[in-house]
Amino acid sequence: MKRYVIIVAGGQGIRMQGALPKQFLSLNGIPVLMHTIAAFQQPNMEVILVMNKEYIRYWEELCASYHFKIDYRIVSGGKTRSESVKNGLEVISEEGLVAIHDAVRPFVSADMIERLYGEAAAHDSAIPVIEVKDTLREVNKNGESITVPRTSYRVVQTPQVFKVSKLKAAFSKTDFANFTDEASLYESTGNKVFLVEGEEMNFKITVPFDLLIAEVLLKSKKN
């Protein structure tokens, strides 16, 4: 079955407190986004990169500078993440499986990618989750809180993989932009979401501390 991945690189990097969106920041001498795209360099995989149109020229200059020549298709993003994913889906004309992945999760492993596509082939969906390590407290609008059982919760990661036609149908909903991720939107149309064990290494680079951790991890992997 044909495999696609939509890498969403439309973020502005506000929480990173820098001039550039975090997907362009250097990670061990190479932009974060290049690490992420390289993770999906597999046979029978079509990579679709969705990016804020204002950064496309800058990205092309980066690719030329770093001699980055992995094949991918670039699409202009929308005003929101949801709109960007929808734009990416619109260029897919064939049935298959499509993964939606954050541009700033560069450590996704080949093993997990394969497991996710394999489970999605069997169940029409597959999303990676990890257990919650810390104690959780639920806070109401009055500021009152209670401890909730962490064993009842999971942290959701990407890539989230779905059958193309079913995810496209979910995005036909007029309120698709109100959902925080593709799995919740997919589920809202009556579909079931299949959970797959994720990986601690597959974290999202969001704040400066994350980038420091990523540098250490990458160097340790090379050593």
pLDDT score recorded for residue 18: 55
Q: pLDDT for 132-149, tens place per residue?
A: 999 999 999 999 999 999
Confidence of residue 20 (pLDDT cuts 50, 70, 90): confident
Full 3-state SS string of the chain: CCEEEEEEECCCCHHHCCCCCHHHCEECCEEHHHHHHHHCCCCCEEEEEEECHHHHHHHHHHHHHHCCCCCCEEEECCCCHHHHHHHHHHCCCCCCEEEEEECCCCCCCHHHHHHHHHHHHHHCEEEEEEECCCCEEEECCCCCEEEECHHHCEEECCCEEEEHHHHHHHCCCCCHHHCCCHHHHHHHCCCCCCEEECCCCCCCCCCHHHHHHHHHHHHHHHC
Confidence of residue 14 (pLDDT cuts 50, 70, 90): very low
Q: How many domains does the chain have?
A: 1
Confidence of residue 13 (pLDDT cuts 50, 70, 90): very low
Q: What is the largest CA-CA distance in the chain?
A: 55
Q: Find the CATH number of the domain harbouring 215.
A: 3.90.550.10
Q: pLDDT for 64-79, tens place per residue?
A: 999 999 999 999 999 9
Mean pLDDT of 1-27: 79
Q: pLDDT for 107-132, tens place per residue?
A: 999 999 999 999 999 999 999 999 99
* Residue range(s) defining the domain that contains residue 75: 3-222
CB 85 within 8 A of CB 8: yes
